[in-house]
Chain A
Amino acid sequence: MSILTPDDLQAVWLTLKLASVSTVLLLCIATPLAWWLAHSTRWYKGLVAACVALPLVVPPTVLGFYLLLLMGPQGMVGEFTRWLGIGALPFTFAGLVIGSIVFSLPFAVQPIQNAFEAMGKRPLEVAATLRASPWDRFLSVALPLARPGFLTAIILAFAHTVGEFGVVLMLGGSIPGETEVLSVAIYTHVEAMEYSEAHWLAGGMVLFSFLVLLGLYRVGGNWAKGAR
């Protein structure tokens, strides 16, 4: 397999790592956020919802630009991380993860929020009258009932992170093994007129995305049948 250079393989590995880490962290952030958005009646709920949805409409390069400024040595986040002794985040893997989380946040929050809203209050009220504490109600009723929403969130967040380009380029550049992900590697190959390498990576990415989706939808279908 001389077609894929070691750098390319590293890019594949890095992309998968970035997508996995981002998706896991996204679920941790998106679940409480979606719960709050689904149940809160506060006046600033609309404001929060708009902020969460912002990455849907803002161009990735714009998002990447502002994240770069924020996380750079002069930015608020940058100064904080420097104070912590971590140093600046741009052009590091951690910086990419943060960028990916912001970028994919609406894709994780909205399906989960929709699922929480669709179940309504009734199942939780029933559970409450059956002695389930709030935390118990969340784990034993809300989470299982929102499973299709979680599945959609996982698929979308993962796929979206794998395919991300603008934010990564602005925030991470293209350091092999650290920040050079697949989409950037393809871009670099094309820039250097290495079309066959670009083909292998691009085609592989299409195939991989397709297989992941196919697998998850099949699992999702079976789950849905079991839940009905």
Chain B
Amino acid sequence: MSGIRAQFRLQRDSFALDAEFEAPMRGVTAIFGHSGSGKTTLLRCIAGLERAPGVLHVNDNVWQDEKTFEPVHKRALAYVFQEASLFPHLSVRANLEYGYQRITAAQRKVKPEQVIEWLGLSHLVDRRDVHSLSGGERQRVAIGRALLVSPDILLMDEPLSALDTRSKQEILPYLERLHRELDIPVLYVSHAMDEVTRLADHLVLMEKGKVIASGELHETLARLDLPIAHFDDAGTVIEAIVAQHDEKYHLTRLDFVGGELWVGKVDQPFGSDVRARVLARDVSIATQAPHGSSINNILNARIDEIRDEGPDKVLVRMQVGASQMLLSRITRRSRDHLGLKPGLFVCAQVKSVALMS
């Protein structure tokens, strides 16, 4: 059986973890929740850094059950902590190779030189003093150090949250490449929705020590019964390809299954994969194709579900094409005036699209 299956119970003075989820052993699985929801504790349990009664299967290996508890150093994982936590007594290279030297030659899937080049570390590798590195550089070394143990699974605990905005922008492309180019499943703990929508394929939602939902990213983001759909920055994600550049108006057309979107010029070659995020508050609904609208993106959609949200708002889920979901937050009055109900065909007007890569 390929996949990760985890179930943990832990009682602390002020906090109880009672979490259970399954996730595929491919792509990025984001464990998302507010601070204090227990996501870091869950990740530490998976690593074996926290000893909580439970069951943990990774692929066909039992890392933990009633009888077994594999110690941390015997689990084929790597862990990137919130702070880079480089060893201060070792050089950059010695940090990178710390774990690499502790696995057998047969277990080594990548070489230090590959990782150094891949993470753009060649100008730093001979530094003796890790304190001379910037925050972003340190975290890149920490990621490289983790990759060099050739893990079956990579655990990342908010690797960007201790960094400033610039360092975050510096690291994110590497994380995306990790996602696209390396075949290592990642468990990514985060409380930042923009990171999750940018990187994740699979979503595990946590609240008060419990897993409240788990599933494929697109489906989970569009579930109106979950609290994330009602966040201010709720929205869905669209996987698209760069289809056309319009030099005259400085726009780019993105094609996705079920439609197309015009966005500000994207600096990426024709045919490249991009991920776009459309927020519920940026989508309005018209029952007929509007004439003389300034909005570029008007998509044909079918209403799927409507759910009340507070005294004045409703959240509408629409389907565009065969599988793409869109959310729209409108007033209750608009719903009644337009007579919106599930099954109705409408025009979704997308005011703004955020490109994630």
The chain A residues found within 8 Å of chain B, CB to CB, are 122-123, 125-134, 136-137, 140-141, 144-145, 147, 227-228
Of the stretches B78-86, B230-238, B244-252, B297-305, the one at the interface is B78-86
Residue of B nearest to A225 (CB): B129
Given contacts A128-B49, A129-B49, 8 further A-B contacts (CB under 8 A): A126-B79, A128-B48, A129-B78, A129-B99, A129-B146, A131-B102, A133-B73, A227-B89
Q: State the CA gap A122–B81 with chains docked (Å).
A: 9
Cβ-based interface call for B145 (8 A): yes
Pair A227/B72 contact, Cβ less than 8 Å: no
Pair A123/B79 contact, Cβ less than 8 Å: no
Cβ-based interface call for B143 (8 A): no
Task: Select which of A122, A130, A133, A144 is within 8 A of B89 by beta carbon.
Answer: A144
Interface 1/0 per residue, B129-147 and A, CB below 8 Å: 1010000000000000110
Residue of B nearest to A136 (CB): B102
- What residues of B have a CB within 8 angstroms of the CB of A145 in the complex? 87-89
Tell me which of A122, A123, A126, A137 has the highest count of chain B C-beta atoms within 10 A of its own C-beta.
Answer: A126
Residue of B nearest to A133 (CB): B73
Given contacts A228-B129, A228-B131, contact A126 B72 (CB under 8 A): no
Cβ-based interface call for B174 (8 A): no
User: Interface size on B (CB < 8 Å)?
Assistant: 25
- What residues of A have a CB within 8 angstroms of the CB of B71 in the complex? 128, 134
- Taking the closest CB of chain A, its distance from the CB of B348, in whole angstroms, is 45
Pair A130/B98 contact, Cβ less than 8 Å: yes
Task: Select which of A125, A141, A144 is within 8 A of B49 by beta carbon.
Answer: A125
Q: State the CA gap A129–B99 with chains docked (Å).
A: 8
- Taking the closest CB of chain B, its distance from the CB of A74, in whole angstroms, is 49
Residue of A nearest to B79 (CB): A129
**Pairs A–B under 8 Å by Cβ, sample size 21:** A123-B85, A125-B72, A126-B85, A129-B78, A129-B79, A129-B99, A129-B155, A130-B98, A130-B102, A130-B145, A131-B103, A132-B98, A136-B73, A136-B102, A137-B73, A141-B87, A144-B89, A145-B88, A147-B89, A227-B88, A227-B89
The chain B residues found within 8 Å of chain A, CB to CB, are 47-49, 71-73, 77-79, 81, 83, 85, 87-89, 98-99, 102-103, 129, 131, 145-146, 149, 155
Pair B88/A128 contact, Cβ less than 8 Å: no
- Taking the closest CB of chain B, its distance from the CB of A228, in whole angstroms, is 6
Pair B98/A127 contact, Cβ less than 8 Å: yes
- What residues of B have a CB within 8 angstroms of the CB of A140 in the complex? 98
Pair B87/A123 contact, Cβ less than 8 Å: yes
Pair B73/A132 contact, Cβ less than 8 Å: yes
- What residues of B have a CB within 8 angstroms of the CB of A129 in the complex? 47, 49, 72-73, 77-79, 99, 146, 155
Q: State the CA gap A173–B47 with chains docked (Å).
A: 59
- What residues of B have a CB within 8 angstroms of the CB of A122 in the complex? 81, 83, 85
Pair A130/B149 contact, Cβ less than 8 Å: yes
Pair A128/B129 contact, Cβ less than 8 Å: no
Given contacts A125-B49, A145-B89, contact A130 B131 (CB under 8 A): no
Residue of A nearest to B145 (CB): A130
- What residues of B have a CB within 8 angstroms of the CB of A134 in the complex? 71, 73
Residue of B nearest to A120 (CB): B85
- What residues of A have a CB within 8 angstroms of the CB of B131 in the complex? 228
Task: Select which of A123, A131, A144 is within 8 A of B73 by beta carbon.
Answer: A131
Pair B88/A130 contact, Cβ less than 8 Å: no
- What residues of A have a CB within 8 angstroms of the CB of B72 in the complex? 125, 128-129
Q: State the CA gap A128–B78 with chains docked (Å).
A: 9
- What residues of A have a CB within 8 angstroms of the CB of B102 in the complex? 130-132, 136
Q: State the CA gap A145–B90 with chains docked (Å).
A: 10
- Taking the closest CB of chain B, its distance from the CB of A138, in whole angstroms, is 12
- What residues of B have a CB within 8 angstroms of the CB of A123 in the complex? 85, 87
- Taking the closest CB of chain A, its distance from the CB of B139, in whole angstroms, is 13
- Taking the closest CB of chain B, its distance from the CB of A216, in whole angstroms, is 19
- What residues of A have a CB within 8 angstroms of the CB of B87 in the complex? 123, 126-127, 141, 145
- What residues of B have a CB within 8 angstroms of the CB of A228 in the complex? 88, 129, 131
- Taking the closest CB of chain B, its distance from the CB of A177, in whole angstroms, is 44
- Taking the closest CB of chain A, its distance from the CB of B46, in whole angstroms, is 11
- Taking the closest CB of chain A, its distance from the CB of B184, in whole angstroms, is 14
Residue of A nearest to B83 (CB): A122
- What residues of A have a CB within 8 angstroms of the CB of B88 in the complex? 145, 227-228
